[in-house]
């Protein structure tokens, strides 16, 4: 199968998935309230959602992550905290459109840890399963695993895995390393974050979550070489972390190593067809001079999200660079119909119309371009246009996770619906 066509086919298959897709239940684990009132144990309250979301990643269950929770808090104007009223927590769950909200609190005296958890059904407004568990502080991860097993069995009564087998799936991280990792997540200062995550990696060698956070922080600081070093560790460890591949591809793209950027984004696009992956792949291919393949990648990104302004722009800019001014103008017109605030798009439209001999349309586009982005006049006067490709820096973990679950469900359903081999060929044991 053509590699570029596979993304479109996967999207078409998802549209046909029907009931298989509808079975996915989204849940949000909120930070646990600290009833012991000891600030030194705030990190324990933050550790519960981190540990539980990992353990609740089960077929048909989609636990949302920390970044998604932070975005929801920001949208409704509530400061991120584990000391919120039930009404505020429900607002967060509504903002995230979740099916279930996992609410909890804990007490800790430095030795004993007691946790209490409830599952709130957001659609029925029903507070269901209540769980209590306890142990020593060193048992924190074991307590989370036992709680997760009960939640999974509550939400999916058909689970056939025993508690013992379930618990074995999650290796215990040294408590000091876990604490450093959680404190790194809680910290807002990037220098302190780096120190915490480095200590976490020292305390638990090859701590993949800490390594990924370090790679991401260095990427955000535009230290692409150092980011590469950390993220490459994950690939050497054979850790299948798609977000790491995404940022590693971005590192290579910014460093001008287009061949390796293409390899990362190409491989990632074969796992799941994300629009941001396709458009970044198109950019790398365009820089490498593989123009036909770049065009196909840009088109796939646009097909996946026809409302994506950046996807329209990248395809248009690529076509303009190739000298296909007519098609570039056509796409730019479609873009400006969706937004009238894109000065770069109007400037490229001006350049296309000017080359095509459409003077009046070119002048109108140039006037708008100068109003929206005055620096285009400098570009025009100096006959020098900066690189305008719009690299997509955000890895949409939610979309990725949902697509992954939906495709797995679809594949499982297709396998389950296959006729028995004997039914297909009859009960005879004859060989063909």
What CATH number did the domain enclosing 77 receive? Answer: 3.40.50.10070
* Residue 353, domain member (yes or no): no
Q: What is the pLDDT of residue 85?
A: 72
Tokens of 127: 């507070």
Q: What share of the chain is helix, strand, coil (3-state, %, to 5)?
A: 65, 10, 30
The residue segments making up the domain with residue 91 are 3-172
> How many domains is the chain built from?
1
- Among candidate residues 197, 237, 235, the one with its CA nearest the CA of residue 216: 197
Per DSSP, the residues of 273-329 read: --HHHHHHHHHHHHHTT-HHHHHHHHHHHHHH-TT-HHHHHHHHHHHHHHT-HHHHH
Residue of higher predicted confidence among 76 and 293: 293
Residue of higher predicted confidence among 266 and 95: 266
Q: What is the pLDDT of residue 81?
A: 67
What is the band of 88 on the pLDDT scale with cuts at 50, 70, 90? confident
Do the beta carbons of residue 51 and residue 185 sit within 8 Å? no
Q: What is the pLDDT of residue 79?
A: 74
Pairing of strands 100-108, 112-121: antiparallel
Instruction: Indicate if the alpha-carbon torsion angle 12, 13, 14, 16 is positive or negative.
Output: positive
- Beta-carbon contacts of 382 under 8 Å, excluding residues fewer than 6 positions away, are none
* Residue 415, domain member (yes or no): no
Average the pLDDT over each of 34-43, 199-208, 214-223 and give the range with the smallest value: 34-43
CB count within 10 Å of CB 315 equals: 26
Q: Is 80's pLDDT higher than 60?
A: yes
DSSP state at residue 159: -
Q: What is the pLDDT of residue 402?
A: 67
Long-range CB contacts for residues 159-165, cutoff 8 Å, separation at least 24: 159/58
Q: What is the pLDDT of residue 92?
A: 80
pLDDT in tens, 35-76: 987 778 889 999 999 999 999 988 888 898 888 888 877 887
Residue of higher predicted confidence among 398 and 255: 255
Instruction: Indicate if the alpha-carbon torsion angle 243, 245, 247, 253 is positive or negative.
Output: negative
Do the beta carbons of residue 277 and residue 265 sit within 8 Å? yes
Q: What is the pLDDT of residue 53?
A: 92
Do the beta carbons of residue 241 and residue 212 sit within 8 Å? yes
* Residue 44, domain member (yes or no): yes
Tokens of 8: 């479109």
* Residue 181, domain member (yes or no): no
Tokens of 209: 């979550």
- Among candidate residues 352, 275, 273, 285, the one with its CA nearest the CA of residue 312: 275
Q: What is the pLDDT of residue 192?
A: 98
* Residue 111, domain member (yes or no): yes
pLDDT in tens, 160-196: 889 999 999 999 999 999 999 999 999 999 999 999 9
Instruction: Indicate if the alpha-carbon torsion angle 144, 145, 146, 151 is positive or negative.
Output: positive
Tokens of 173: 């991280």
- Among candidate residues 203, 209, 185, 35, the one with its CA nearest the CA of residue 113: 35
Tokens of 427: 């009960």
* Residue 30, domain member (yes or no): yes
* Residue 74, domain member (yes or no): yes
* Residue 134, domain member (yes or no): yes
């Amino acid at each position: 199968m053509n590699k570029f066509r596979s993304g479109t086919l996967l999207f078409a298959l998802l549209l046909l998935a029907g009931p298989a897709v509808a079975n996915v239940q989204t849940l949000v684990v909120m930070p646990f309230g600290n009833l012991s009132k000891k600030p030194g144990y705030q990190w324990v309250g933050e550790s519960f959602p981190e540990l539980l979301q990992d353990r609740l990643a089960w077929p048909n269950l989609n636990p949302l992550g920390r970044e998604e929770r932070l975005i929801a808090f920001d949208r409704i104007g509530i400061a991120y905290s584990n000391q919120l009223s039930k009404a505020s927590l429900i607002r967060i769950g509504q903002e995230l459109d979740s099916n279930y909200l996992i609410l909890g609190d804990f007490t800790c005296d430095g030795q004993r840890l007691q946790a209490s958890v409830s599952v709130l059904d957001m659609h029925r407004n029903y507070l269901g399963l209540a769980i209590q568990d306890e142990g020593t502080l060193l048992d924190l991860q074991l307590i989370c695993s036992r709680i997760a097993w009960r939640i999974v069995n509550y939400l999916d009564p058909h689970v056939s895995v025993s508690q013992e087998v379930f618990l074995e799936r999650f290796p215990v991280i040294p408590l000091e390393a876990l604490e450093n990792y959680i404190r790194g997540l809680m910290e807002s200062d990037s220098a302190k974050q780096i120190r915490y995550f480095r200590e976490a990696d020292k305390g638990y060698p090859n701590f993949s979550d800490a390594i990924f956070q370090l790679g991401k922080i260095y990427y955000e600081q535009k230290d692409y070489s150092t980011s590469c070093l950390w993220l490459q560790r994950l690939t050497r460890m054979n850790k299948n972390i798609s977000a790491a591949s995404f940022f590693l591809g971005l590192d290579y793209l910014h460093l001008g190593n287009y061949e390796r950027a293409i390899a990362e984004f190409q491989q990632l696009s074969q796992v799941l067809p994300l629009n941001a992956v396709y458009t970044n792949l198109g950019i790398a291919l365009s820089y490498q001079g593989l123009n036909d393949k770049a065009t196909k990648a840009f088109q796939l990104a646009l097909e996946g999200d026809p409302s994506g302004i950046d996807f329209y722009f990248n395809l248009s800019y690529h076509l303009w660079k190739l000298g296909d001014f007519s098609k570039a103008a056509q796409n730019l017109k479609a873009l400006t119909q969706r937004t009238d605030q894109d000065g770069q798009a109007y400037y490229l439209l001006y350049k296309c119309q000017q080359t095509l001999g459409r003077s009046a349309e070119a002048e109108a586009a140039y006037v708008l371009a100068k109003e929206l982005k005055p620096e285009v006049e400098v570009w025009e006067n100096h006959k020098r246009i900066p690189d305008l490709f719009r690299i997509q820096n955000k890895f949409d973990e939610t979309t990725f996770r949902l697509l992954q679950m939906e495709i797995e469900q679809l594949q499982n359903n297709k396998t389950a619906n296959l006729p028995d081999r004997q039914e297909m060929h009859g009960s005879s044991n004859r060989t063909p």
